[in-house]
Amino acid sequence: MQADNQRIIKAGVIGAGAFGRLHAQKYAATPGVTLVGIADVSEVRAQTLANDFGVTAFAGWRVMLPHVDVVTIAAPARFHGEIGVGCLNQGKHVFIEKPLAANMREADALVRVSEARGAILHTGHQERFVMRYLGLFDGNVKPLRIESHRAAPFNPRNTDVSVALDLMIHDIDLAHQLNPAAIASIKASERSKPSRSDEVAALVTLTDGMQIDLFASRMAEARKRFMRVTYPDGEIYIDFLTRETTNSTPRKIKQLGSHGDSVDGMPCPSADPLGHGVAQFVRAVREQLPAAIAPREARRALETALLILEAAKTAAPQKRLVHA
Contact between 61 and 14 under an 8 Å Cβ cutoff? The reply is: yes
Number of Cβ within a 10 Å radius of residue 104? 14
Q: Where are the domains of the chain?
A: 9-125+273-294, 127-260+303-314
Rounded Cα–Cα distance for residues 305 and 229 (Å): 20
Rounded Cα–Cα distance for residues 312 and 197 (Å): 10
pLDDT at 153: 87
Rounded Cα–Cα distance for residues 236 and 227 (Å): 8
3-state secondary structure of 162: coil
Confidence bin at 323 (pLDDT 50/70/90): very low
Name the average pLDDT for the chain. Answer: 91
The pLDDT tens digits of the residues spanning 43-78 come to 999 999 999 999 999 999 999 999 999 999 999 999
- Residues in CB range of 185: below 8 A, 6 or more apart: 204, 205
Answer whether residue 211 shows pLDDT above 80: yes
pLDDT at 260: 63
pLDDT at 46: 97
Task: Give the range with max mean pLDDT: 102-111, 161-170, 189-198, 238-247.
Answer: 102-111
Answer whether residue 2 shows pLDDT above 50: no
Sheet holding 9-14, edge to edge: 56-58, 33-39, 9-14, 70-73, 93-96, 121-123
CA dihedral 79→81→83→87, nearest 10 degrees, is: 160
The pLDDT tens digits of the residues spanning 263-294 come to 788 999 988 999 999 999 999 999 999 999 99
Domain 127-260+303-314 class?
alpha beta
Rounded Cα–Cα distance for residues 108 and 113 (Å): 9
Overall pTM > 0.85 = yes
3-state secondary structure of 200: strand
The pLDDT tens digits of the residues spanning 5-39 come to 678 999 999 999 999 999 999 999 999 999 999 99
9-125+273-294: CATH topology:
Rossmann fold (3.40.50)
Answer whether residue 120 shows pLDDT above 90: yes
